Amino acid sequence: MGGGKWECIALQYVEICAKIKAAIYDNLNVMETTTETLMGKVIATLVITNRLDEGKAEDGLIPIEQVRSVTLENVLVDTGATTLCLPKDVIARLGLKILKQVVVETATGISEARIFRDASISLCGREGTFECLELPEGKTPLLGVIPMEALGIEVDLKNQSLKVLPDGPTETYLTIL
């Protein structure tokens, strides 16, 4: 049974919200600092390395100098993003391999995107390997909630910074319940 008038209004509302979010993202003026003075906006510096290259170097198959890595100083910490999102040109520089094509919801609606694998990231002294979603070339890289949670890092919007959660003998962010 269709929702009629209310379904139409709800769809219009979703479209308007998506357009507003798209306009906000397109107009963000990202500075190369760890935080900014705009309310709730957190920018991070992120080192990303091709994990397959690291493994080859560890096994002596390639020299360490051939391990592909980039430092991005303008990564927007986005609690609305699920995962790590990198522009196409950054993925190409890293030589990451495609994992799959997926359907994603963006600020402009539903579309398809490619997911790449083996992006090893280093942030706030923590490291992990994650999938990343491909963004159009030139777009601002995004750090979503899955890598943040896996690394034990929270966003402190009040202080516009990242907070490293405890990982010690008496208290830890890792849970098995």
Quote the distance between the C-alpha of residue 130 and its chain's center: 10
Burial class (CB in 10 A: 0-12, 13-18, 19+), 74: middle
- pLDDT tens for 127-173 read 999 999 999 999 999 999 999 999 999 998 888 899 999 888 888 88
**Cβ atoms of 120 and 74 closer than 8 Å:** no
- pLDDT tens for 50-80 read 999 999 999 999 999 999 999 999 899 999 9
**Cβ atoms of 72 and 135 closer than 8 Å:** no
